[in-house]
Copies of this chain bind each other. A is one copy, B any other.
Amino acid sequence: MSTVWDQRYAQRVQRIQGSAIRELLKVTEQPGTISLAGGLPAGEIFPIEEISAATQRILEKQGQQALQYGTTEGYTPLREFLAQQFQQQGLNVSRDNILITSGSQQGLDLLGKILLNPGDRLLVESPTYMGALQAFNPYEPEYIAVRSDEEGIVTEELEPALQQNPKCIYALPTFQNPSGITFTLERRQQLVELAARYGVPIIEDDPYSQLRFEGEAEPSLLQLEHARQPQEQRDQPYEGNVVMLNTFSKVLTPGLRVAWIVGPAQVIRKLVLAKQGTDLHTATLNQIIAYELTRTGFLEKHVPRIRTLYRARRDAMLAALEEYFPDNVSWTHPQGGLFLWVTLPESIDTAQLLKEALKYRIAFVPGAAFHANGGGSNTMRLSFSNVNEEKIEQGIGRLGKLLHTTLWQA
Q: Which residue of B lies closest to A63 (CB)?
A: B48
**Can you pick out 22 interface pairs between chain A and chain B where the beta carbons lie within 8 Å of each other?**
A8-B115, A9-B114, A9-B270, A10-B116, A10-B117, A10-B139, A16-B273, A17-B273, A44-B64, A46-B67, A46-B68, A52-B63, A55-B59, A67-B254, A68-B254, A105-B277, A134-B277, A135-B277, A135-B278, A255-B283, A255-B284, A255-B285
- Contact for A43 among B9, B67, B131, CB less than 8 A: B67
Chain B residues, Cβ within 8 Å of A267: 5
| Alpha-carbon gap, A278 to B16, bound state (A) | 11
User: With a CB–CB cut-off of 8 A, which chain B residues contact A278?
Assistant: 105-106, 109, 135, 278
Shortest CB-to-CB span from A275 to chain B, Å, is 10
- Which chain A residues (131-148) contact chain B, with CB distance < 8 Å? 131, 134-139
A residues 170-210 in Cβ contact with B at 8 Å: 196, 199-201
Residue A402 at the chain B interface, CB threshold 8 Å: no
Contact A13 B114 (CB under 8 A): yes
Beyond A46-B68, A131-B280, 12 additional pairs, beta carbon < 8 A: A3-B266, A13-B114, A51-B67, A67-B255, A69-B254, A70-B255, A102-B257, A103-B280, A105-B277, A256-B285, A257-B279, A257-B281
- Size of interface on A: residues with Cβ below 8 Å to B: 88
Cβ-defined contact, A3 with B68, below 8 A:
no
| A159 → B minimal CB distance (Å) | 17
Contact status A60-B64, CB under 8 Å = no
What residues of B have a CB within 8 angstroms of the CB of A274 in the complex? Answer: 16, 138
Say if the beta carbon of A396 comes within 8 Å of chain B. Answer: no
Interface string of A40-52 (1 = CB under 8 A from B): 1101101011011
Is the C-beta of A36 less than 8 angstroms from some C-beta in chain B? no
CB neighbours (8 Å) of A236 from chain B are 1
- Quote the shortest CB–CB distance from A203 to chain B (angstroms): 11
Q: Which of A1-56 contact B (CB under 8 A)?
A: 1, 3-6, 8-13, 16-18, 38, 40-41, 43-44, 46, 48-49, 51-52, 55-56
